[in-house]
Amino acid sequence: MPAYRAPRGTRDLLPDVAAGLNRLQGIARSLSVRYGYREMEIPLFEQSAVFERGIGECTDVVEKELFRLTPRTEESEAWALRPEATAGVVRAYVQHGMQTWPQPVKLSVVGPMFRYDRPQAGRYRQFWQWDAEAIGDPGPAVDAEIVELGYRFYVEAGVPEVQVLLNSIGDPACRPGYLETLKAYFRRHSAELPELELRRLETNPLRLLDSKDPAMAVLVAAAPRMGDSLCTACAEHFAAVRAHLDALGVPYRVEPTLVRGLDYYTRTAFEYYRRGAEGQQQALGGGGRYDGLVELLGGRPTPGIGFALGLDRVLLALEESGRVAAAEAPPLAVVVGADPADTVSRLRVAGLLRAEGLRVRAELAQRKLGRQLETASRDRAHFAVIIGDELAGGDVQLKDLEAGTQRLVPLADLARYLARAEKTHRHG
Ligand code: AMP
């Protein structure tokens, strides 16, 4: 057992997995550009208060999972690693006066998030998310656009059979009345409530609906539904979101018990699942409207909606369905030499080719030429560039390892020759 290991709940992403994650980040970035969500960066940590206020003190994310940093001195601020991006993005929106920009402001963040959760499959202490936010548009069309954007990500990533679960959780006009109805219902069943849920009943009753406790399933199934208590404005908004999604052909199912774990959500709430895996732990991603959040973090009242898609779970889903990331491409050429000791020439020639954008390995081991060529074949390189006495005259030998042919090529033409060969090889 090695003395040092990656911290519990974190993973080293070895090159194959890292390549898979990179591919997903590439799709996220490409979609952000196509849909007009501009990428930005926010710090990996914030004042804890940004999360406590912005996410809500009675949520699991803040109550149990916030990764708090111990201040080094008395006067240091209380910080925490970001458990999600929305609160930080909205903090930045307020701080930088983005309400004076043309609205809505559409933003995207890709990067690691941290939650001090109990580690298990698909639940890590450091994980990756793609986050997209549209701030300043009350919807409903933008709600549908963002739901479709997330859906498109799974399609392009190749995750089979993704389904959207959709609900409306009302707004400050209709939710308080519903919460009273909900509380009254659960109070009538208080004897059946587990300890944790009993406590939540008074602080955050909506959370009982997404309880992870199996003992709650029957009670939740029979609980009063937000959908029956929506005010006219919320009901119309929800109907319009659905009409847009129908027109866009995004497959969704209205799920009346879907609530989001975070307090600031209003109206539209949605989650992405693989069909048949709609269990509590299995959401691939989720999001919703948060019309109260900008004001909560000190800005003018401003509507907003966004999503967070977990990339680790997409990697797992792809692995489960046998769709692993493509293996890394072999080098186009390996530079080898007749003089085993002359690593300078090999590095110099490789450097010239790399500067032209070619994938090239220089053989740095001081072995005989025959052994060097063997490693080039083992690497599945298409060419070996052989440096010998011809270099004095400005030439190198170019061996086509696939065709088994060899020819003399002027060093000055080598990059162009290889680039052309690669192109015809790929497309020819
Ligand atoms: P949430 O903000 O909790 O709705 O999370 C959004 C998405 O991020 C989830 O659907 C997961 O895909 C992913 N996610 C959240 N927490 C974790 C975690 N601890 N480990 C891995 N992925 C996570």
**DSSP-assigned letters across all residues of 50-87:** HHHHHH-TTSHHHHT--EEEPPSSTTSPPEEE-S-SHH
Pair 339, 417 in one domain: yes
Structural domain contains residue 411: yes
Cα 129 to ligand 1 centroid, rounded to whole Å? 8
Pair 121, 97 in one domain: yes
Pair 251, 398 in one domain: no
Which tens digits make up the pLDDT trace of 76-106? 788 999 999 999 999 999 999 999 999 999 9
Pair 159, 39 in one domain: yes
User: What is the spatial distance between Cα 87 and Cα 292, in angstroms, rounded to a whole number?
Assistant: 12
Q: Output the CA–CA distances (angstroms, integers) from residue 403 to 353, 372, 382, in the order listed.
A: 21, 18, 9
pTM over 0.95: no
Residue 272 CA: nearest ligand 1 atom is 10
Pair 357, 293 in one domain: no
Residue 311 CA: nearest ligand 1 atom is 12
In 3-state terms, what secondary structure has residue 387?
strand
Specify the CATH number for the domain of residue 100. Answer: 3.30.930.10
Structural domain contains residue 272: yes
Pair 23, 164 in one domain: yes
Residue 8's pLDDT band, with cuts at 50, 70 and 90, is very high
Structural domain contains residue 198: no
| Domain edge (last residue) among 265, 286, 320 | 320
Please tell me the predicted confidence (pLDDT) of residue 427: 47
pLDDT above 70 covers a percentage of the chain that reads 96
| Residue 263: closest CA among 60, 399, 49, 41 | 60
**pLDDT > 70? residue 54:** yes
User: Ligand 1 pocket test: which of 127, 167, 315 has the largest number of ligand atoms within 8 Å of its C-beta?
Assistant: 127
User: What is the spatial distance between Cα 12 and Cα 1, in angstroms, rounded to a whole number?
Assistant: 16
Identity (one letter) of the amino acid at 40?
M
Residue 313 CA: nearest ligand 1 atom is 12
Pair 292, 349 in one domain: no
**pLDDT > 70? residue 260:** yes
| Domain edge (last residue) among 265, 298, 320 | 320
The residues with which 67 forms a beta bridge, in sequence order, are 81
Please tell me the predicted confidence (pLDDT) of residue 426: 60
User: Where on the phi/psi map is residue 324: left (φ > 0), alpha (ψ -120 to 50), or beta?
Assistant: beta
**pLDDT > 60? residue 155:** yes
Pair 253, 386 in one domain: no
Structural domain contains residue 220: no
Task: Choose the weakest-confidence range: 66-80, 93-107, 288-302.
Answer: 66-80
Specify the CATH number for the domain of residue 401. Answer: 3.40.50.800
Residue 122 CA: nearest ligand 1 atom is 21
Please tell me the predicted confidence (pLDDT) of residue 58: 67
| Domain edge (last residue) among 320, 352, 373 | 320
In 3-state terms, what secondary structure has residue 410?
strand
User: Ligand 1 pocket test: which of 265, 312, 316 has the largest number of ligand atoms within 8 Å of its C-beta?
Assistant: 312
Structural domain contains residue 325: no
Structural domain contains residue 185: no
Domain count, the chain: 2
Report which DSSP code applies to 276.
Answer: T
Report the sign of the C-alpha dihedral through residues 301, 302, 303, 304, in that order: negative
Domain hosting 378: range is 333-421
Q: In 10 A of CB 378, how many CB atoms?
A: 10
The torsion defined by the Cα of 153, 112, 101 and 106, in degrees rounded to 10, comes to 10
Please tell me the predicted confidence (pLDDT) of residue 279: 62
Pair 133, 168 in one domain: yes
User: What is the spatial distance between Cα 39 and Cα 49, in angstroms, rounded to a whole number?
Assistant: 24
Structural domain contains residue 214: no
Structural domain contains residue 1: no
Pair 41, 129 in one domain: yes
Pair 413, 294 in one domain: no
Distance of CA 38 to the CA centre of its chain: 15
Pair 56, 131 in one domain: yes
Residues having CB closer than 6 A to ligand 1 are 84, 115, 117, 122-124, 127, 129, 261, 283-286, 308, 310, 312-313
Average pLDDT over residues 119-127: 91
Which tens digits make up the pLDDT trace of 20-53? 999 999 999 999 999 999 999 999 999 999 998 8
